[in-house]
Structures are given as structure tokens and as C-alpha cells.
Amino acid sequence: MRVGFMEIESQLFSTYFLCFVSKKVRMPLSLVDHILKLTPYSGMVGQLHPWQSALISLAVVLVATVTAQVIYRRATRPPFRPAGKLCLITGGSTGLGKALAVSMAASGADVVIVARRQAELAVAVKEIEAKKLNASQIVLAVSADVTSKTDIVRIFDETKAKMNRDPDYVFACAGASFPKMFLDHTMEDFEFLSNLNYLGQAYIAHQAAKRMVESKIKDGKIVFVSSVLGLMSFAGWSTYSPTKYAVRGLADTLRNELQRYTINVHIFFPGTIFTPGFEIENQTKPHVTKVIEGASEGQTPEECARSLTKGLEAGYYAITTDFLTELLRTVGRGVGPTNGFFSDWILSSVGWASHFTWTTL
């Protein structure tokens, strides 16, 4: 009897399965079926196999989620409209700083550039003046040392006195690097680069934030300049890379703290920039560092400035210049916001695979 009962069960299951495959058993409507009922393709309701419905449902959910994310990001991204703004740029006489100053002037902004050397400032002012969008724009140069607390205050005092307002956007571009092996550095090297690359940005950001709050500037911007070496490091960068990691830590902190004042904080992670400083850097760069870096696929200062402004226009917090740095950003994002949930998820998956290869091979 038991064997007979099992045979009956088996026959019933086979019959049910055949009916299911041949669509004789009416199954509950899927999400896709409910959607089809609202379209001209209502005749297809109930015609899809479950696995087809599942795949289509997944695709619909993904598309809807991505669309919602894009709409949300466009609606909430911080505005970046340089026209009519006052932009203060440290390191503004050469390299990225000067290229950025030219770009801001061409977009209709008043510009203040800060650097130590008067001669370089004078040359830069002429170049920036030539790119102004209209004759009423003002370009001001301030000679100052960003490692000096007294000079930092003077920068903003002079700007307020001559421009009759505080800066809306502040870009901390001043910095330097002198790559050597750790044991070849002096203790003074660590102090010098910490003062310039980290404290120079911390000081300028501190004074900028205070002035923006006092002047009740809305949607102000403080833009830190880190480096791809603020996301990863290797031999030769023992004095430089830690300062760029520190800048990232400061930016992550201030992104939270300054939201209450509607001050937007951004951080830029450029790769190689072909500047006079890059040539000086190569004079002390160890051979092993050059081997690890390989052939440089860097950017001109102008290309780098375009990458930065494009990221600001998109409302990104962390801005990169190339695919490799973007992978590193997604892998080591920490508590920073995404530049897109799905794109970051995909890139981080690739990044972790690359990270495994880098660390094991």
C-alpha cells in the first residue's frame, strides 16, 4: 500500500508539473503581469514563465531605482555657479591653482590668487585678466605664506578690504612634494611638508569657514586638494602621502560639521599633473618609485582644472581625474557619500579585485 501511495504521489506531481509547464495551472500574477495589464501588451498577461517574470521584474526594479537616484542627486546636489562669485585660490600663481583661476574668471567670477612670489603673481594676474568674461570682474593677487597663521588672517582681511566682501568659494591648491626614501629624509622634511600640505589647507579652511559664517554666505564652498596618494601609497612618498591622507580626514570631518551653515565641502584627488613642480619632483624621486609608477599618464593643469569643475558641477564630494583613482575612491570611501550607489557598487567590486591583485602579486 505504501509503495502504491508513493506511485500515486509521483503521478500527481508529474501531472501538476506538466500542467504548469503547459500553462494549464493558473499561477498568481507576477509584478510584470500587473504592469502589462496597464499597457497595450495586456494580451501577454500570464504568458511568461516565472523565470522570465523574475528577470524582467529585477530589471524594472533596477531601472526604477537608478532613475530615482539620478533624480534625487540632481535635485539635492549643491549648486556650483561661479558667475558673480568671489573665488579665492591658494597656490594660484602656477599649476592647478592658476588654471583654476583662469577657468573661474572665464566663468564670470571675481578671483583672488594667493602665492608667495610677487613676480609669478604678476604674470598670473595678466593671464587671468585676459580670460575674464566681462570687464567689470576683478582679479586680485595677495602675496602670502599659507603656513603662517598671521598671513592667513591677512589674506582674508585684504580680500575684504579690496573686494568689499568675503570669498564665496575657496580652493586650497598650495602644496609641494619631494619624494625620497624614508631614511633619506630629514626630520625637517616631515615638518615642512606637514606645515605646507596639511596645515596650510587647515588654516585656510578654518579662516574661510569663519568668514563665510560671519557673512552669512549661503552655498559657500571649501575645496581641498588631496592626491591619488591620499587614497593609497608606496615607496618614496613617506613625507607627502601622509599629509594628503590628513587632508582627506579633515575634509570628511568638515563635510559633516559645516552642513549646518550650508557650506559645501569637496575634496579633489588628482593624479600626476604636468607642472614645473612635477619636474622638480622627478629630480629627487627614487628609482623604485618611478618603476612602480610606470609611464606617467597625467594631465595638464588645464585638464585637471576641468576635471575638478566637472565634478563640482555634478555635486560630487570626492572628485577624481581618472579611472584608477575612481576605483581607489570607491574601495576606500569610508564614511564619505557615494557618487552614485550602483556605479560605486560596481566600481568597488572591480576595485577590490584590483586591490587583491596589487597586494598579492
Q: Is residue 183 part of a domain?
A: yes
Give the mean pLDDT of the chain: 85
Does pLDDT of 217 surpass 50?
yes
Same domain, 60 and 100: no
CA dist list (Å): 343 to 73, 199, 241, 277, 339: 13, 34, 27, 34, 8
Contact of 267 with 244, CB cutoff 8 Å: no
Q: Is residue 20 part of a domain?
A: no
Q: Cell 587671468 appears where?
A: 128
Same domain, 63 and 112: no
Beta-carbon contacts of residue 27 (< 8 Å; ≥ 6 apart): 20, 46, 50
Same domain, 48 and 142: no
Domain with 37, as residue range(s), is: 28-76
- For 59-63, 151-155, 350-354, which range has the lowest pLDDT when averaged over its residues? 350-354
Q: Is residue 49 part of a domain?
A: yes
Does pLDDT of 179 surpass 70?
yes
Q: Is residue 350 part of a domain?
A: no
User: Among residues 155, 156, 248, which one has the least CA distance to residue 202?
Assistant: 248
Same domain, 222 and 139: yes
Q: What is the pLDDT of residue 280?
A: 86
Same domain, 66 and 141: no
Same domain, 154 and 283: yes
Q: Which of 42, 76, 110 is the last residue of a domain?
A: 76
Q: Which of 10, 43, 76 is the last residue of a domain?
A: 76
Q: CA-to-CA distance for 64 and 134, rounded, in angstroms?
A: 44
Q: What is the pLDDT of residue 2?
A: 46
> Could you tell me the strand order of the sheet in which 263-269 lies?
139-143, 110-115, 86-90, 169-172, 220-225, 263-269, 318-320
Q: CA-to-CA distance for 57 and 171, rounded, in angstroms?
A: 46
Which residues are identified as catalytic? 240, 244
The average pLDDT across 57-85 equals 75
Q: Hey, what amino acid is at 117?
A: R
Q: Is residue 342 part of a domain?
A: no
**The total number of structural domains that make up the chain:** 2
Same domain, 58 and 159: no
Q: Is residue 34 part of a domain?
A: yes
Same domain, 35 and 97: no
CA dist list (Å): 283 to 182, 185, 193, 226, 228: 16, 14, 17, 22, 20
